[in-house]
Structure 1
Amino acid sequence: MAAPTFTDAVVKAMKTLYPPELADSAWDNTGLLLDQALLPEGTESKQSEGAVLLTNDLTAAVVDEALEKQVNIIVSYHPVIFRALKSLSNQDPMQKHLLRLIAARVAVYCPHTAVDAARGGLNDWLCDIILSETKEAERKVVQPISRPLPESLQGLGYGRTMKLQGPMPLTTILKNLSRGLGDQQHIVLKDADAELIVTGEMDHHSALRYTQLGQTVVTVFHSNSERQYLTQVLKPELEQMLSQSSRAEGRVLVSQADRDPFETIDISSLGS
């Protein structure tokens, strides 16, 4: 049996940090979605030993970056394969990315909703951000509870609720979210004097329903929270896990090419 590779070590660490059984298998597609192609016997790899690239999405720019840095495996938060593939063609952008990675022997692991639901995962992290300026005495009465999202939001992963015995100003929550998500300046708010729902995004009719029920909905834009989580939490956690394995020499990199597909434009900056 061949000795475990760096890719094997990364996959094992990811499964330990974010157990695959926590993912919403009813619709999500997580795990090792692209394995590392085997070399013919006697052939040496041209990849630098032990490098993993963390990204939110797999785009052409991220693939270019991965090949330039000669990484062994990419951890892409969002799955690169959702539906069954009957062929692999250069005509489809994502399939083209996969073909390039196969040729370069780069694996892809996608954790997605397993990260959302895990202890210390994305939802726990967002709870901590919201409470970041809360006094210690007040933090003791906060009880994070893991539960499925309401039926209207099924398919978007899992949520986490918090119970506060005392009031917390909405302005404090918004400022905490802004700081924790990298000084984000734009937060979409559907205002109401009641309970708060913090989410990456929400469709119009769901937001309308919750606000009609007297709840407050804050959306922080889908991938802003996820990208910050990769940098602030996943990178150090994965480094720690790998340091305890036989592949302690591995490097964990966060993609510099990964970008949100949406751009916020200030119309006043466009001129007359």
Structure 2
Amino acid sequence: MSANTTSAPFSRAVVRAMKRLYPQALSDSSWDNTGLLLEPPFIPSRRQSNVILLTIDLTRAVAEEAISLNSSIIVAYHPIIFRGLKSLTLANSQQETLLRLASHGISVYSPHTAIDAAKGGLGDWLADIVTGTKTTFGPIAGGDVESSPERVQKQLKRKDSDDPFTDKQLRPPVYTLHNHPSQTHIRVSKTTSPTQSTTPHSRRPIVPQSPEIEGHPGAGMGRIVTFEHPQPLPALLDRIGKGLNNPKGFPIAIPQGSTISDISISSVGICAGSGGTLLSDLSVDLLFTGEMSHHEALAAIEKGQVVISLFHSNSERGFLSEVLMGQLEDAVTEEWGKVRGEEEGGDGEGVSEAYEEVDFEVHVSEVDRDPYGIVVLREE
């Protein structure tokens, strides 16, 4: 990079904030690809707004959303680049997305397993849900955002009317397709008390971080929660449903010959995303994850374990608005102040306006969603 070529000043502040919150050293570098994945040069004449867009997956729709917001940077939990690229062409949809973002001056940063491992990160967010630690949330304050059930029903009605596979003249449809709504419509309420009292428990990483990173004690992949007293499985299902903003449903596997009401849980193994490998050898009562294969789940219930699977990215998406959004608002405020103080006036002509803009916004994608939805059958 030449002396006169650099990335957008605000994007650099966001990258510094993310690296401080979730150091790359916490990630599993043996297979993961974290960090700054796309860094287009800063062109003052087309300066982006100080807008951060948070998403789990960086799809074409999310890229268009970032462009419409005039974002400076996308923080995409899942890396859009996993393996080495031999070319960048429009023939590949992911490469097309990267090229399009670069042409608009939008950077891309991916934290992935660094967030999984960090204390207070995704593993602890899921542990908070299953232990009842997570607080109540509701619609964003201000505006005319409808309550979640009403909004979802209207969305479902609109989907029905647009569905080409239903014969509207003969009879009403007997199903609806439900995608878990974007978490941007819910925010943690700072004025309400927890949904229920935290259940007494201990927790620890499945694989502790080694060596431990200064300033990030207790980090590591996955979490094991051990309750002081056994918990009825229906109570855990209730906590999970409430903690995930009441999804229409999620898969559960229980040992053959058992019923949900008869099962008590003393210990839980937790892994966001795909947990089959990390959870496979644990001696716990419940495996709580986003995704597990048929044979992995079958092996678990043969051992007497219960498996709860949330669909891969639905085990991760709520973390963006409930945790990461607020963390970035604080960390970027500090880092942007430092960048402005250190670099103002030092990057050549035509860039002073970039340093003068103090305010910024953090958005959570409204179009990001898990590729899987749930078809809910109706009574005829």
TM-score scaled by length of structure 2: 0.63
Give runs of aligned pairs for residues 193-272 of structure 1, distance below 5 A.
193=263, 195-247=285-337, 249-268=359-378
Offset at residue 262 of structure 1 (A): 1.3
Residue in 2 that maps onto 1:188: 251
Residue in 1 that maps onto 2:353: none
Offset at residue 3 of structure 1 (A): 10
Q: Which 5+ residue runs of structure 1 have no aligned equivalent?
A: 150-156
Residue in 1 that maps onto 2:21: 17
Offset at residue 22 of structure 1 (A): 1.3
Pairwise CA RMSD of aligned residues? Answer: 2.2
How far apart, in 2, do the equivalents of 1:162 and 1:260 lie?
A: 26
Residue in 1 that maps onto 2:102: 102
What secondary structure does 1:165 align onto?
strand
How far apart, in 1, do the equivalents of 2:80 and 2:375 lie?
A: 28
Structure 1 residues 140-181: Cα deviation after superposition (integer angstroms, max 9, x where no partner): xx11101239xxxxxxx9310011121111111111111111
Quickly say closer, same or farther: Cα 1:167–1:111, change in 2 above 3 A: same
Structure 1 residues 57-94: Cα deviation after superposition (integer angstroms, max 9, x where no partner): 11111111111110000001110001111110101000
Residue in 2 that maps onto 1:179: 242
Offset at residue 204 of structure 1 (A): 1.1
- Taking only the aligned residue pairs, the percentage that are identical comes to 42
Is contact 2:115–2:122 with CA below 8 Å preserved after alignment?
A: yes
Offset at residue 266 of structure 1 (A): 2.4
What secondary structure does 2:97 align onto?
helix
What secondary structure does 2:53 align onto?
strand
What secondary structure does 1:168 align onto?
strand
How far apart, in 2, do the equivalents of 1:59 and 1:3 lie?
A: 23
Residue in 1 that maps onto 2:203: 144
What secondary structure does 1:185 align onto?
coil
What secondary structure does 1:261 align onto?
coil
TM-score scaled by length of structure 1: 0.87
Q: Give the structure with higher Rg (CA).
A: 2
What secondary structure does 2:325 align onto?
helix
Letter in 2 for 1:27: W
How far apart, in 1, do the equivalents of 2:70 and 2:37 lie?
A: 19
Offset at residue 4 of structure 1 (A): 7.9
- Higher relative strand content: 2
Quickly say closer, same or farther: Cα 1:34–1:199, change in 2 above 3 A: same
Offset at residue 210 of structure 1 (A): 1.2
Residue in 2 that maps onto 1:77: 77
After alignment, is 190-199 or 77-86 more displaced? 190-199
Quickly say closer, same or farther: Cα 1:260–1:244, change in 2 above 3 A: same
How far apart, in 2, do the equivalents of 1:251 and 1:178 lie?
A: 30
Give runs of aligned pairs for residues 112-123 of structure 1, distance below 5 A.
112-123=112-123
After alignment, is 1-10 or 121-130 more displaced? 1-10
- Number of positions where the alignment pairs a residue of Structure 1 with one of Structure 2: 256
Residue in 1 that maps onto 2:47: 46
